[in-house]
Every structure is written in structure tokens, then in C-alpha cells.
Amino acid sequence: MFNAVYVEKDDDGYRAGIRSLESSQLPEGNVTIDVAYSTLNYKDALAITGAGPVVRSFPMVPGIDVVGTVESSSSERFKTGDTVLLNGWGVGEMHWGGLAQKARFPDEWLIHLPEQITPLQSMAIGTAGYTAMLCVMALEKQGVTPDKGEILVTGAAGGVGSIAILLLSKLGYQVVASTGRPHEAQYLKDLGCAEIIDRSTLSEPGRPLNRARWSGAIDTVGSHTLANVCASIQYRGVVTACGLAQGMDFPASVAPFILRGVSLIGIDSVQCPREDRIKAWNRLAKDLDFSKLELISSEVIGLEQALRKSQDLLDGKVRGRVIVDVNK
């Protein structure tokens, strides 16, 4: 038997709670894991509260991040005792995820945890940090180097934004942070940003082109914010888009793209190929300032607390990353 966050939807309504389950109830897969830690992400909070149509199959165990030890495996890639990591692949939406003491997955969804990173650190990084690394790698691939000018990070106090700042500042970039939480100014400076701007300067309808300022950007917000970011990028600058906190719409003009040669690159962490995941996590092991990681992940909670914390996360009251110790 093992404990899990269990989400149900039936004639009695939508509900989430802690349930004791049998290993035989785990979904199909050729690797079974003793889970050590998971996280509480925005998608997980939506799944637990029912505030958004994230869960596509019921019953569901949420948790888009997983780290743990292989209990049993029929895969040639992994053996009993290996420490493995998973982010995305639709877990917590279509396949049971990591907010449980046990999990089972197909081996192609898993990677070995880099030996430089502890299981706890891997969840402090989580999908947010892995996504941030994919964004940084995309900027680099398009030739955005520190000497080209400032990099903007929107939604800077969130998980992706926080780790993006850590990575970019260590790599030598001048980072400008956009946030709607002015009380987090010192936190953002401690992470390494050089300047902070209020999100209201970007979140309202704007002009097709603004003064060219940033050489690149990592946007986690979408909607008018993303449109205004694109309108303020330098000639042949690059924007990576990975979030939609403000909305899925993109009320923009083609002007930045055809008059300044701006590139807009979408970053998908869910279906990202396994080879790219391994590259991203190896880069995180090398390029992340682990001495500052505790600034981002100040909270380690248990499964019961994850139920209560979900609404706070949706209400924007949570800074950075929330780690879930599934055995706590």
C-alpha cells in the first residue's frame, strides 16, 4: 500500500484527497519507482482544486515532477536502485504522476538524475527550472550572447522566472525582471537581476513597435505582455515563450518580425525529446548556482499540505518552488 493525492470526478462532484492505494492500481509502464519528492506546480494546483480542465482522465494522481529510486524495472535503460527523474509527458493529466509514494512509467519518459544534483535539489529545480534551461539554450542557439544587451524575464518571481534569472546572471547576462510583486524586489536582486520593472508597463495593450531595448527575453506570461515584449526587442533579437499566466491570446502585430527580424520561439517542456531533456539537465548541473537555490525553494511540505497549498499557488501567493516530500 502507498499514499497518494487522488483526484476524482463523478456524479457527486470534483474532489481531491489523500488515498491509500495498492501497487496493482498503478498505471502501465516498465519502471516502478519509490518516489522521494515531487513538487506543487501551477498545473498540479489546477488539478487538485478543479479550477482548470487539466485532468483528462479520472481518477488521477497529480504531480508533473518526480524523482525517486527504481524499485523494479524490465527496461534495459534502468536497473533497481537507479535514481531517476521525470518532468512532463502528460503525467498528472493523462497518466498518474508524482504526488504519491509510488509511481510507474514507460522508460522513455525517464532520465538518470545527474550525479551532481541531489534528489531534493532536482525538485527545487523541477519542471520550472528545466523549462528555464530550455529557454536559455534556445537564446544561445539563436546567437543571443551577453554582449548583445539586456535580457528581460517576465513573471520573474515565479518558478521559471526565478531560475531563469539564476541561470542568466551566472552566464554573464544583464537581466531585467518584470514582476507584479514589488515586495519581492530584494529576492529578485539576490537571484542576480540588475533591474526590476513593474509588470503593468507591459500588461496593457501597446503599440506595434516600441523603443528597441532587450536583446532577448524569456516570457512566462503571454497575451499583451508577450506582444509588448516582442515590440521592444532589438533588431534580430529573440523571445522565448513558455507560459500563459496572463492568457493564451497573442494580440500582436507582425511589425517586430518583419521590420526588426525578431524571432519568437515556443518552448515546450512536456513533449520535449529525451535527448534534449538530458542536455538541459546536464547544463543545469553545470550552470546553475546551487548556493542560491535555497532562495527559490524555501518550502518542503507533505502530501496533506499540498492539498491546502494549491489555492495559495493559484492566487499568486507562492514565491518560487514548492517541494513535496511524499513520505512526510
pLDDT in tens, the chain (328 residues): 999 999 999 999 999 999 999 999 999 999 999 999 999 998 999 999 999 899 999 999 999 999 999 999 999 999 999 999 999 999 999 999 999 999 999 999 999 999 999 999 999 999 999 999 999 999 999 999 999 999 999 999 988 999 999 999 999 999 999 999 889 999 999 999 999 999 999 999 999 999 999 999 999 999 999 999 999 999 999 999 999 989 999 999 999 999 999 999 999 999 999 999 999 999 999 999 999 998 887 689 999 999 999 999 888 888 778 999 999 9
Q: Answer whether residue 119 is part of any domain.
A: no
Distance CA 113, CA 86 (A): 9
Nearest CA among 30, 28, 92 for reference residue 65: 92
List beta partners, residue 72. Answer: 32
pLDDT at 187: 94
pLDDT number for residue 52: 87
- Rounded Cα distance between 223 and 243, Å, is 10
Q: Are 168 and 251 members of one domain? A: yes
For residue 95, list its beta bridge partners.
91
The reported pLDDT for the residue numbered 280 is 98
* Residue 286 belongs to some domain of the structure: no
CATH number at residue 167: 3.40.50.720
Domains of the chain: total: 2
Residues 154 and 257 in one domain: yes
Q: Are residues 136 and 247 in the same domain?
A: yes
Q: Are residues 78 and 183 in the same domain?
A: no
Q: Give the C-alpha separation, 18 to 16, whole Å.
A: 7
The pTM (predicted TM-score) of the whole model is: 0.93
Give domain status of residue 159, yes or no: yes
Shared domain for 165 and 215, answered yes or no, is: yes
| Structural domain boundaries enclosing 232 | 127-266
CATH number where 18 lies:
3.90.180.10
Q: What is the pLDDT of residue 298?
A: 65
Q: Are residues 144 and 254 in the same domain?
A: yes
Q: Are residues 137 and 258 in the same domain?
A: yes
Q: Is residue 276 part of a domain?
A: no
Closest by CA to 120, choosing from 209, 38, 207, is 38
Q: Which pairing describes strands 299-301 and 214-219: parallel, antiparallel, or unpaired? A: unpaired
pLDDT on residue 275: 96
Half-sphere exposure of 47 (CA within 13 A, CB side): 32
Using CB atoms within 10 Å of the CB of residue 185, give its burial: 0 to 12 exposed, 13 to 18 middle, 19+ buried.
middle
Is the domain of 84 the same as that of 184?
no
| Residue 167 domain-assigned (yes or no) | yes
